[in-house]
Amino acid sequence: MGDPGNIFYYVTELDIVRVTGEKAATLLHGQFSNSIKDLKPSFGNYNLFLTNKGKVQADLHVLNRGGFFDIVVENIFLTKIKEHLNKLAPLSRVTVTSVPTLKVLHVFGKPPSSWPVLELWQAADMAYGGSPYILFHSDRLGELGYDVIVESEGLSSCMDFLNQNGAQLLTENEVNGRRIKNGMPKVGVDVTESNLPQEGLLDGALHFSKGCYLGQEVIARLHFRGHVNKILGHFVLENAMATLPREIFDGSGAAVGVVTSAVSDVANQKAYVLAYVPAKSFEAGEPFYLGGQKLAAIQKT
């Protein structure tokens, strides 16, 4: 008997922005935080859209579709990304358009050994599963996961396929709970325009040798010669309260941080918390308290 696996999925609030033209790669490379010029056809990577001062405006994935690029972005950031690129499009001789006919599912977890698309699931990056699906690596919840891009008219059949092969559809609350439990920051919630990427543990979206891009000077200076004053910590509270307060205190009783995301694990009587705290204190292992209870830091593995 094969491994039964454990697969989950949900319908995302992601949109697609398509950028076409000979200089599309050059334009995107200079605007986002990861290396776009190095992307081979059928591959994608995770990026941030930063301000001139290096603060986080949005996050997104850029996919090289072979002849054009697709940007997969949360719909709350869609207008911001399009407006920014459209200002630059005439000089760069590219065209920027939305593709509202495409929808995105996120599928994650441990696949069963006999799962029909196991080879694609194990792919390191974007792969084509045959028309009309596109599958690419995107660990949005801190677990092995993939985005599945599908035409709107094929969304129902794609969901039927997943259901028939043992995948479980999750609610928005369930999705958010897994994200927080896994310590995965969400841009727009845990990381906003008041934060630098390194404060929000988004270093994986940064490239330090690609050359100039929007906000690059601040990011590089911080990486090579500086340090952050606060950092997004991931904590567990062993005795969950019905209502979690938002302020974090240090051992002296001084308010030193704020909770950005929290979820209660009722079955195990625990709560998981993402909160900004002083970086030096966090790195030194100093204690923090929430509602009078000590928080235990969860180390990334």
35 and 140, same domain (yes or no)? yes
134 and 239, same domain (yes or no)? no
- Condensed to tens digits (0 to 9), the pLDDT of residues 253-273 reads 999 999 999 998 888 889 999
Asked if residue 301 has pLDDT above 70, the reply is: no
CA separation for the pair 127, 94 (Å, rounded): 25
Q: Considering the domain boundaries, does residue 13 fall inside one? A: yes
Pair of tokens at residue 196: 């630098």
- Condensed to tens digits (0 to 9), the pLDDT of residues 124-160 reads 344 444 445 788 888 899 998 889 998 898 899 889 8
Q: What's the structural domain count of the chain?
A: 2
The helix/strand/coil state of 231 is: strand
For residues 6 and 110, the answer to whether their CB atoms sit within 8 Å is yes
Least confident of 31-35, 52-56, 264-268, 280-284: 264-268
Instruction: Specify the higher pLDDT residue, 238 or 85.
Output: 85
Q: In this structure, what CATH number is given to the domain that contains residue 144?
A: 3.30.1360.120
- pLDDT confidence of residue 33: 95
Q: 0.75 exceeded by the pTM?
A: yes
Torsion of the alpha carbons at 83, 138, 120 and 127, rounded to the nearest 10: 30
- pLDDT confidence of residue 130: 46
CA separation for the pair 248, 255 (Å, rounded): 6
Q: Which residues contact 245 (CB under 8 A, 6 or more apart)?
A: 259, 290, 291
130 and 33, same domain (yes or no)? yes
156 and 242, same domain (yes or no)? no
Q: Specify the DSSP element, H or E, that contains 219.
A: helix 216-225
